Amino acid sequence: MIRFTNVSKRYPGGFEALSDVTVHMEPGEMAFLTGHSGAGKSTLLKLIALIERPSGGQVIVNGQNLNKMGRRKIPYHRRDIGVIFQDHRLLFDRTVFDNVALPLVIAGYSHNEIGRLVRAALDKVGLLSKEKVYPITLSGGEQQRVGIARAVINKPPLLLADEPTGNLDPQLSKEIMGIFEEFNRVGVGVLIASHDHALIRTMNHRVLVLDHGRLAGDGYVRRSDGA
């Protein structure tokens, strides 16, 4: 699913966000990516989504060598990846329905198919009754759920989430993580960048730790809820 081999990313000016990172995630695996602010978490996710390209090393996602992927193929690559942002990135002049439908509209789906798929995605995240409202009227947790519904609307095999619970209280954060686990149970790979160590310790998933751009840890943590 995801394979990094000796991957580095250096930005103009000399800042090295990632240095010699080698890691492999199996298809359908769920893992957390953690580390201090500036450790390289967002950069790693951007390399997977081809928002950025590595300065060195090799990145393979879904069997495709991203180093060799031309610009014309990037949109097709991204259709297989759902990305959830901390700031939601919703369109506030469009309804919840229209926000979630956007990837399908771009992909050329029929009106009837869009309606069916959007309502199924909203139902999955518990927001079917909110399809006609505007995002500004929703709570932070509900806005994040809209972002998740939009990310999974194409049923991608891989979900990437960049600090998806950073602005949420502990209870809402736990609910959002529960949604990710539901998708993971049906075979979707999930990689979540998060600095919420307390929340991560309540979940039994692999944890990748970055420290100043290097992979400093890879394993499981003991659950802190007694389970």
pLDDT in tens, the chain (227 residues): 899 999 999 999 889 999 999 999 999 999 999 999 999 999 999 999 999 999 999 999 999 999 999 999 998 898 899 999 877 789 999 999 999 999 999 889 999 999 999 999 999 889 999 999 999 999 988 998 999 999 999 889 999 999 988 777 888 888 889 999 999 999 999 999 998 888 898 888 999 999 999 999 999 876 655 44
CATH architecture of 2-80+156-220: 3-Layer(aba) Sandwich (3.40)
Q: How far is CA 65 from CA 1, 22, 74, 160, in A?
A: 11, 15, 12, 18
Measured CA to CA, the distance from residue 27 to residue 190 in angstroms comes to 9
Q: Could you give the residue range(s) of every CATH 3.40.50.300 domain in the chain? A: 2-80+156-220
Token pair recorded at residue 202? 């309540």
Token pair recorded at residue 3? 């394979």
Question: Given this model, what pLDDT does residue 8 score?
Answer: 97
